[in-house]
Homo-oligomer: A and B are copies of this chain.
Amino acid sequence: MIINKTQIYAIRVLELLAQHKETPISAKTISQTLDIPYKYLTRVMTKLSLCQLIDSYRGKEGGFVIAKSPLEIQLQDIVDIFSNESPHQCICADGSMCGQNGKCILHDRWQNSKESIHQSFLNTTIGELST
């Protein structure tokens, strides 16, 4: 697996917040704009807030604001927050096959392609996505 649904949600949210740095956007608005289940979204938002990628404001007129410059947030930063695996850049589902335990027979093939994608996650920032 490269990235899962939750991670895509988070990336899309950050991209949206990057376009509205001024005023807080509520989870309700985000949910409707990006078509992400509301209740699921709020949990994602809370986690992003705890990790200080976004600031949260409770109460009326509250919402979320991006906490850093979009050009300083790498996609990998976001992916890591919603990942329990050690980063493994694998084409197959089971990262445990990587490393010292051995690797699957596909691992060495397409090494370049995988490496290319992985490097992009490190190099690409939220700020660059819209362009």
Binding site for B on A (CB under 8 A): 1-5, 7-8, 11-12, 15, 75, 91-94, 97, 104-106, 109-110, 112-114, 116-117, 120, 124, 129
Contact = CB atoms under 8 A, between A and B. Distances in A.
Q: List the number of copies, as a whole number.
A: 2
Contacts of A97: 8
A65 B110 CA distance: 29
B105 A117 contact: no
8 contacts: A1-B1, A1-B4, A4-B93, A8-B106, A15-B105, A75-B106, A110-B116, A113-B117
A93 B3 CA distance: 6
A123 B109 CA distance: 12
Nearest to A90: B2
A131 B8 CA distance: 37
